[in-house]
Amino acid sequence: MRAADMLVNRNQALQDFLARHRLPPRFLQLVETWYAPLAEQLASHHATAGRPLLVGINGSQGSGKSTLASLLALLLRQFHGLGVIQLSIDDFYLTRESRRSLAERVHPLLATRGVPGTHDLPLMRETLQRLLNGNGEVPIPRFDKAIDDRCPADQWEFVSAPLDLVIIEGWCFGTPAQSEEALLKPVNDLEAREDPDAVWRRYVNRQIVEHYQSIYQMVDLWIMLQAPSFDCVYQWRLEQEQKLADKLKLTDDSAPMQNQVMSAQQIARFIQHYQRLTEHTLQHLPASVHYLFRLDRERRIIANTRPREALLS
C-alpha cells in the first residue's frame, strides 16, 4: 500500500474512533503528540521481548483510561499489525448476587462495585493467562454497568489466543496497599458514618495485600493517567454517566436500564467509595510506572515522564 493511501486509512480510522467515542476534534492532537508515539513504543517493547506482553493502565474515574486503552488497541492492530485486546478490570466485577452475599458476610459497603475485593480475581487471572499463554478460543467476560451485573456467559465474546499484547485498565489497577495507621482516620462522610470501625477499609486493604499484588506482578508495562486531584473526579464521573444515559437513549428496549443511570447526588455519594484509594494512588503510584501522563482539569496532558525503566526479557 502506498504511503498516501496508508495516511488516508489512518486518518479515516481516527475519525471513526472520535465519532464512536464522542470525542472532540482536539483529541487528535493528543493522539499525534502523545498516544501514537506511545503505541510505537509498546510495539517496540513487544518486538524486543519476543513474547506476549501485559500492559496495565491506571487512571482515576473519568480520566480517559478506557479511551486510551481502546485507542492503543486500534493503533497497534491497524498500524503495527499486532494482535491486541483491551480489557477493563470492571469486566471482572463479582456478580450482583455475589456482592450482596459479601455485603451480608463482611460489610454492607461491599455491595457497591469498584473497590478491591469486589472483583472475581480467579476469573481475571485465568483469562489473562489464557490470553497471553494459551492456544485457542478464550471467553471474555463483560459487565453491564447499566444493570450493575455481569453479562450472561452466552453473551461473552471469544478471542483467539495467544495475543501479542493484552491491555487492561482500571481506576484501582496497580493501587498499592496502605499502612494500618493510614486506615484509622476516615477521609469523608461515607467512611465516618458507614464504616466508623474501619471494617470495610481494612478488608479492602487486605485484599490488595493478599490477592491483587499477584495480579499486578503479571504486568510487564505500566501506564498512568495522573489526575491533578480527586476534586476533578466528581465532574469527570458525572460526564461518564451522561454519556451512558445518552447511549441508552439510542438503543431499543433500554427503559429499564435507564432507571439504573445515577443522578448527580448519587454520583457524589458513589465516588466517596473511591476517594481514599484514588488519593493514595495519585500520591504513591506515579514513581512506579513506566509511562506517566500528568493531566490538567480538562484532561489535557501537561507532562509526560518515564519514572521507571522497562526491563523486559
- H or E stretch covering 302: strand 301-305
| Residue 197 Cα to chain centre, angstroms | 30
How buried is 313 (Cβ within 10 angstroms: 0-12 exposed, 13-18 middle, 19+ buried)? exposed
Question: How crowded is residue 219: how many other Cβ atoms within 10 Å of its Cβ?
Answer: 20
pLDDT of residue 50: 94
* DSSP 8-state symbol, 140: E
pLDDT tens by residue, 4-16 = 555 667 889 999 9
What the block records as the C-alpha cell of 214 is 499477584
Residue range 20-46, pLDDT digits in tens: 998 999 999 999 999 999 999 999 999
H/E element, 105 = helix 96-105
Mean pLDDT of the chain: 91
- Residue 65 and residue 75: Cα distance in Å, rounded? 15
Domains in the chain, ordered, with CATH?
53-298 (3.40.50.300)
Torsion over CA: 270, 110, 260, 139 (sign):
positive
96: cell is 450482583
User: pLDDT tier at 257 (50, 70, 90 boundaries)?
Assistant: very low
Compute the average pLDDT of residues 171-180.
96
Cα gap 51→295, rounded to integer Å: 32
190, pLDDT greater than 90: yes
- Residue by residue, DSSP assigns 44-97 as HHHHHHTS-EEEEEEE-TTSSHHHHHHHHHHHHHHHH---EEEEEGGGGBPPHH
Total residue length of the chain: 313
pLDDT confidence of 256, banded at 50, 70, 90? very low
pLDDT digits over 198-239, tens only? 999 999 999 999 999 999 999 999 999 999 999 898 888 888
Whether the CB-CB separation of 58 and 95 falls below 8 Å is answered with no
Helical segments of the chain, H only:
3-21, 27-30, 36-49, 65-80, 96-105, 121-133, 180-183, 189-194, 199-207, 213-216, 231-249, 255-258, 264-270, 272-284
**Spatial contact of 95 and 208, defined as CB atoms under 8 Å apart:** no
Residue 200 C-alpha cell reads as 470495610
